[in-house]
Copies of this chain bind each other. A is one copy, B any other.
Amino acid sequence: MHNFDNATQFIKEADQLLVLSHLHPDGDAIGSTLAAGHLLRSLGKKVTMVNESPIPQKFHFLSGAKDIYLPDNISEKFRYVVALDAADQARMGQCSRLFTRDVQILNIDHHATNDQFGTINIVVPTAAATAEILFDWIEFMNVKWDLPLATSIYMGLLTDTGGFRYSNTTPKVFRQAAQLVELGIESHVIADIVLESTTLDQLRLLKKALSTLQVSANGEVAWMVLKREDVGPDQEMEGIVNYARNIVGVDVGILFREVGDQLVKVSLRSRTKTDVGKLAKSFGGGGHARAAGCTIHTDLSQALQQVLAYLSVERECDQ
């Protein structure tokens, strides 16, 4: 199965390992990091977990989340590295400063774009999450499951499938979820904390965004606008753009966010028709057909005009 023999051999050779994932970590990045941490420790290894970015508050309830360090707080260097959910080394941020020159990397990822940077590469684009690959590896090695391990894996499956709502939610994902719930994880508590919970600040921001909501005359494009003073530092924006995209009849939802002087971040989501990855690319950004983003060096009103022009939206609109 995949390269699990080599991966298992890799960790047998190592006494001490660095486990990391990509910057701005999401549920799969954090869940995979913690799962690998638990796993390697249960095999008697010394493990250091690291991430370029702080772990968001809502993931702090996970066992071990507070033991994921920023690279600045680590002085050692590591010869054995397990890289998770990172398509290339740039995604690790400063973490690669902690590698020795003769570093050996076990690269486990589900992104099709992974550039195979590892010494050993287990890249499985059909997997919904990196956590799904780890699940298989855990079973391959016949490691005994415990609750922290099962919870970390569930976190990855849950978040990378959008709560079992995206098209990557395969029968296999559901079967893994069944097995994890059978082990006794509190899946409803995890879902409540990670997918349902919000803050007063987020709701205030949502209210502000909703008050700017506009829909194109043909009903297919909806957008919202946030000014610089609307958004607090480190405020989570995730999900707001979806309110525009989720309107019945809408294909493209957009959030324009002023982040600086002559600097507008544009988040794009689409349902089925428009390739917003292409749109974002034409403005120097990136992403894929259904979710993408770009940054435009102009003011809000210009950014709005340029993106809507691309989408052939006439500005006479239905508030």
Contacts and interface: CB of A to CB of B under 8 A. Distances in A.
Contacts of A198: 243, 246-248
Nearest to A190: B165
* Copies of this chain held together in the complex: 2
A168 to B, nearest CB: 8
Nearest to A242: B196
A167 interface: yes
A165 B203 contact: no
Interface residues of A, number: 42
Contacts of A204: 210
A167 B188 contact: yes
Indicate the member of A163, A186, A203 with the most B CB atoms within 10 Å. Answer: A203
Interface in A51-94: 58
Contact of A203 (B163, B170, B186, B210): B210
A154 to B, nearest CB: 11
Given A211-B207, A271-B192, A181 B169 contact: yes
Contact of A179 (B171, B179, B188, B192): B171
**Chain A contact residues: helix, strand, loop or mixed:** helix
B210 A206 contact: yes
Contacts of A163: 163-165
Interface string A190-201: 011001111110
Contacts of A170: 181
Given A174-B174, A174-B177, A210-B210, A247 B169 contact: no
A191 B207 contact: no
